[in-house]
Structures are given as structure tokens and as C-alpha cells.
A and B are shown apart, each in its own frame.
Chain A
């Protein structure tokens, strides 16, 4: 089965609302990363967060390693936040990333 599961699959918000994205994984992660992919575009790393809570700008990620879950909170969403958010984990020391299917976020004005 899928080693990395993300929910919800899609999310529609009004500008200014907050978003909460979830990632659950079945393997022990040595690293967990959140990526943003613009529509039809490439991937950009947002946060690396193997455990605990990390902040950058309007983004907060909380990873509870024992429970094999991570969340990404986007505060005060903007239309430019629209796109797909991907969770990926690294197991072991190979540096190989295993991706979830993503959450597609649409922020309406």
C-alpha cells in the first residue's frame, strides 16, 4: 500500500482562511519534507521537519515521529498559495524520497 498518505486530497478556501494539511506514513522516517508544486510546475522544498515543530513565514509544520504523522498549517491563505502540496519521507541514508499523492489547494479571492 501507499507508504505516504495525504489528506485531504483537495481543499478549497477563501483568501484569508487557514489550511491544515495532513500526512501519515507507514515507515520510520529519518527525514520528512514538505514540497509545493505550482500548477504544471516544478517542486520547491518548503520545510524539512523530521520531528517537532518548525515555522517559516506563514507555514508551520508539526511532525510526531512516534505516531508517524506530520501536518502543514498555512495561515492567512493567499491566492498565490494555490497549487499542490506534497509530503515526502526519506527512510535510511539513501536520500531517496517517497512521495504522497499530494493535497491540491485552491484559494479563492
Chain B
């Protein structure tokens, strides 16, 4: 079954508002990765977090890895229409031979 849960499934925000998506694993992850898929496109790697409590920033995007290495979040400050897409988290799980297991994704829509 699904080992990596992601919420919310869908979020529609006004341009300029903030957005956060959360990722939770039932087991400890050696790393957590985030991908973005534009509508009609393919997933593109954004970032990888490895250390407990790690925080990384990419312009308006802030990524966090929880202390227990079981959860993660992606926060976008002041969303823009270019942020539209589906954001997936993914982590290797021992149960699946350390293959990457993807969350179901959060679809972000931005109203201008």
C-alpha cells in the first residue's frame, strides 16, 4: 500500500497567497525528494533533503525535512501563475527495496 502520503490533494489559491504541501511517511526515509510536474508535462526534480531537520530554499520555495525523517513540507511564498502544477514528494523505502515511492501529489492552481 501507499507508504508516502501527501496532503492536500488539491489547492486553489489567489496569486500572491502562500501555499504549503505536506508529505508523511510511515517509515524513516534516508532522503526526501520533491518534483514538479507542469500541466501536460513530466515530473522534474526540484530538490533532495538528506539530513534530519534540514531546510533548503530555492527563491520563493522552502523545503523542510522533519527531525524524525518521516515528514517533509514544501512552502511557496507569494504564489505566481508559473507555480501551477502538481508537486510530488518521493522517498526510498526499505519495504520496496529502497526504490523511490512517490506521494499522490498536490495539484496547485493559481488564480490571477
A and B interact physically? no
